[in-house]
Structure 1
Amino acid sequence: MNKQSDTRFFIIAVIAILIVGSGLLVYESQSVQRGILKTTGDQLRDQLVVRHNMIQNSIESSALKVRFLFSTPPVSGLVRAAQNGGIDPLDSTPTERWKSRLKTIYIGFLENNPEIYQIRYIGEADSGKELIRVERRHSKISAAPDALLQSKGDQEYFQMIRKLPPGEVYVSDLNLNKEHGKLEYPYRPTYRVGMPVYDGEFQFFGLIIINVDAKFLLDPLEQNLHEEYVLYLLNTKDNFILHPNARNNFSFEFGDAPSWEGTFQEQASNGINEKLKQANEIETAQAL
Structure 2
Amino acid sequence: MEVGPRDGLQNEKEVVSTATKLELIERLAKAGLQDIEAASFVSPKWVPQMADHAEIMAGLPSAERYPNVNYSVLTPNLKGFEAAAAAGAREVAVFAAASEGFSQKNINCSIAESLERFVPIFEAAKQQGIRVRGYVSCVVACPYDGPVAPEKVAQVAARLLELGSYEISLGDTIGAGTPASVLRMLEAVERVAPVRKLAGHYHDTYGMAVANVYASYQFGLRSFDSSIAGLGGCPYAKGATGNVATEDLVYLFNGLGVQTGVDLDALVDCADWISGMLGRAPNSRVSRAMLAKRN
Relative contact order (C-alpha < 8 Å, sep 6+): which is higher? 1
Same-fold call, TM cutoff 0.5? no
TM-score by length of 1: 0.31
Mark the structure with the bigger radius of gyration: 1
TM-score by length of 2: 0.31
